[in-house]
Structure 1
Amino acid sequence: MSQTVVITGASAGIGRATARLYARRGARVVLVARGRTGLDNCAEEVESLGGRPLVQVADVADPEQVEAVAEAAERAFGPVGVWINCAFSTVFAPFEEVTPEEYRRATEVTYLGFVNGTRTALKRMLPRDRGTIVQVGSALGERSVPLQSVYCGAKHAINGFTSSLRTELLHRGSNVHVTIAQMPAVNTPQFSWVTTRLPRHPQPVPPIYQPEVAARGVLHAADHPRRKQYYIGATTVATLWANRLAPALLDRYLARTGFDSQQTDLRPPTGESNLFAPVDGPRGHDHGAHGIFDEASHDRSLQATLSRHPAALAAAFALGGAATAAALGRRGRTSAA
């Protein structure tokens, strides 16, 4: 039986790549974003891959619009089984250069958009005692970087809000699940349409992964939601461990390197920003899933693959442990001789 899946931020980036994966399963995919052009093109892809699309133009910052999406989804496809919160907007700039209006707007989309989507999904899932909500998070939700205070603050808030909700669901013994897929740097179009006040074109901090790597992680999290969160990409794991083991040292490292590593040698984008309005409207164009960093991006992640196969991960650790033990044994025998 095919699933009914709602994906916010489906017109581009990780949301677009995730919609394609569900389409290959023959799922009924509800595509949500503000930009009609990207959504219409995504719908064509979903249909061509074997899925059934439903386009919903909506701003996730508005709870009434999100509620209307859910009503349309269930009217067309029946009960929503999976709700994926992925939409976001942000500003690349030092904190003092971000206006109050920009800060409010980005927070309303990136944080409250997740809250609105989660509330709407729960309204339908809790009475049925089934369903899964996936929050598309970020390593920056646990380890902040310079020039992204808006985004980092929102992603931190998502982590805290989701953890609180998870304990409430556990308390009531609910079979509704909520999980977070924490992302690495991903090659999405956001870096070409983001509001920026940097002297050069913004970029994700290398190493960069393609949206398909992230999408596979989202799909796995939705299929196996009992874990609190999933870490996608070795750099995500490394960043989180570095922050736990040496946060002060990491602060100094990011203060020294974080400005240059988030900028290319190119001039900043000259097109319109998508903060207050979509940039792929009737006169715009379809941005697709990928950004401009294809040549520098990885289309595979060994860590992400192993995390989807715990037995293989355990075997890898066992082999590594055995090899280490053997090496130490040989070293010990050599020393004794």
Structure 2
Amino acid sequence: MTRKAGQRPRIVVVTGASAGVGRATACMFGARGDTVALLARGETGLAAAAREIDAAGGRALAIPTDVADHREVADAARRVEDELGPMDVWVNTAFATVFAPFTQISPDEFRRITEVTYLGYVFGTQAALDLMLPRNHGTIVQVGSALAYRAIPLQSGYCGAKHAIKGFTESLRCELLHGRSAVRVTMVQLPAVNTPQFDWVLSRLPHRPQPVPPVYQPEVAAHAVLFATDHPRRKEFWVGGSTAVALIANRIFPALIDRYLGWTGFASQQTSEPSPPDGPVNLWEPADGKDGHDFGAHGRFDDRSRSTSAETWLSRHRQATTAAAIAGGALLVGARLHARHVEMAS
């Protein structure tokens, strides 16, 4: 994605930059000539991302950081400014999760999910604002999920954190508006994305986890993040038609969506392959820390992932798509509920 006409190269911070959406976003910023600070725990992935950015003509600074530690995040932000200069953009993408029923997630695991996925955004936002507010300049992008509006089973920790991010960000936006600050904060709500998380997530499911179709490539999400940094006055951007349908349909008949997900949400998040007993787990430590493996931006679902989306059009024409999304959601859920009723009656 090219920068806006007349826009100078910027200094950008991306958390969770060693893999997945964070990796794709950081590399896309670098490819258009921005200077990018890469924050994550996985040093192998950070080094590989830095090489990709340098090769694309950008400039990279890798800073190993656990976003669950507010001191590490604040120190990283100060290092960015000391070594690169005043930051223009801070993008929060880092997260951790566990695939399991809520009753099978331990208190320590739930705390860790919350510390990384929710408090990591809080700490990143605080560190950015400490430096942006005195200058009255900067943009913060919170990479969210459709699950911030419509939770699904087997991901209670992740869904809870994404709901919390949305609430915290809306509160912060009101405070910035009250203070007439030029610092902007916006959100990008994502659909299912083909990232390595499904290969390293802690899972207690009988079969290997998978994203719920339709699945998009991480570059689709990265394009939306860059668009959001260029148009930060919009409070939120939706990526993918599935996100629009899920969010709007949930407003119309949430109880039916509960039933639908109760019937389908377990099977749709698992493949037919048994879960490997000794797979990597990144909840407590980076998955690339043991064997030096670089997971990259993509997961193992390239053959079923979409490389394009109407996210920009949807974001610019939200009202025009609302009726279509409502109708589509109603037809989809109605058809599935009817099929389920027939199945139970036979």
TM-score in same-fold range (> 0.5): yes
Runs of 4+ in 1 over 3 A off after TM superposition: 313-317
Contact 1:10 1:33 in 2 (8 A): yes
Letter in 1 for 2:109: E
Letter in 2 for 1:275: L
Deviation of the 1:2 alpha carbon: 1.4
Contact 1:10 1:39 in 2 (8 A): yes
Counterpart position of 1:181: 188
Q: How far, CA to CA, are the matches of 1:99 and 1:290 in structure 2?
A: 29
Counterpart position of 1:298: 306
Q: 2:56 aligns with which of 43, 49, 53?
A: 49
Report SS of the residue matched to 1:127. Answer: coil
Instruction: Say whether 1:143 aligns with 2:150.
Output: yes
Counterpart position of 2:81: 74
Q: How far, CA to CA, are the matches of 1:184 and 1:23 in structure 2?
A: 24
Report SS of the residue matched to 1:206. Answer: coil
Deviation of the 1:315 alpha carbon: 12
Deviation of the 1:261 alpha carbon: 0.3
Letter in 1 for 2:119: L
Counterpart position of 1:328: none
Q: How far, CA to CA, are the matches of 2:105 and 2:80 in structure 1?
A: 36
Report SS of the residue matched to 1:144. Answer: coil
Letter in 2 for 1:266: E
Contact 1:36 1:282 in 2 (8 A): no
Contact 2:219 2:307 in 1 (8 A): yes
Counterpart position of 1:224: 231
Report SS of the residue matched to 1:73. Answer: helix
Counterpart position of 1:38: 45
Contact 1:82 1:132 in 2 (8 A): yes
Q: 2:169 aligns with which of 162, 173, 179?
A: 162
Counterpart position of 1:63: 70
| Larger Rg computed on CA atoms | 1
Contact 2:67 2:94 in 1 (8 A): yes
TM-score (norm 1): 0.91
Q: 1:128 aligns with which of 135, 148, 155?
A: 135
Q: How far, CA to CA, are the matches of 2:281 and 2:137 in structure 1?
A: 38
Deviation of the 1:282 alpha carbon: 5.7
Counterpart position of 1:288: 296
Distance change >3 Å, CA 222–CA 257, structure 1 → 2 = same
Deviation of the 1:272 alpha carbon: 2.3
TM-score (norm 2): 0.89
Q: 1:273 aligns with which of 269, 281, 288?
A: 281
Counterpart position of 2:20: 13
Root-mean-square deviation (CA), in Å?
1.5
Report SS of the residue matched to 1:2. Answer: coil
Q: How far, CA to CA, are the matches of 1:114 and 1:156 in structure 2?
A: 12
Q: How far, CA to CA, are the matches of 2:168 and 2:319 in structure 1?
A: 35
Distance change >3 Å, CA 253–CA 203, structure 1 → 2 = same
Instruction: Say whether 1:113 aligns with 2:132.
Output: no
Counterpart position of 1:335: none
Structure 1 unmatched ranges of 5 or more: 321-337
Deviation of the 1:279 alpha carbon: 1.0
Distance change >3 Å, CA 230–CA 316, structure 1 → 2 = closer
Residues 22-61 of structure 1, C-alpha deviations (whole Å, 9 max, x = no match): 1111111000100100000000000000110000001000
Residues 165-196 of structure 1, C-alpha deviations (whole Å, 9 max, x = no match): 00000000000000000000000000110010
Letter in 1 for 2:305: S
Q: How far, CA to CA, are the matches of 2:285 and 2:319 in structure 1?
A: 49
Deviation of the 1:314 alpha carbon: 8.9
Q: How far, CA to CA, are the matches of 2:291 and 2:78 in structure 1?
A: 29
Contact 2:73 2:124 in 1 (8 A): yes
Deviation of the 1:283 alpha carbon: 2.5
Instruction: Say whether 1:261 aligns with 2:268.
Output: yes
Contact 1:210 1:298 in 2 (8 A): yes
Counterpart position of 2:334: none
Q: How far, CA to CA, are the matches of 2:184 and 2:122 in structure 1?
A: 15
Report SS of the residue matched to 2:143. Answer: strand
Q: How far, CA to CA, are the matches of 1:229 and 1:282 in structure 2?
A: 38
Deviation of the 1:307 alpha carbon: 3.4
Deviation of the 1:305 alpha carbon: 3.7
Deviation of the 1:215 alpha carbon: 0.4
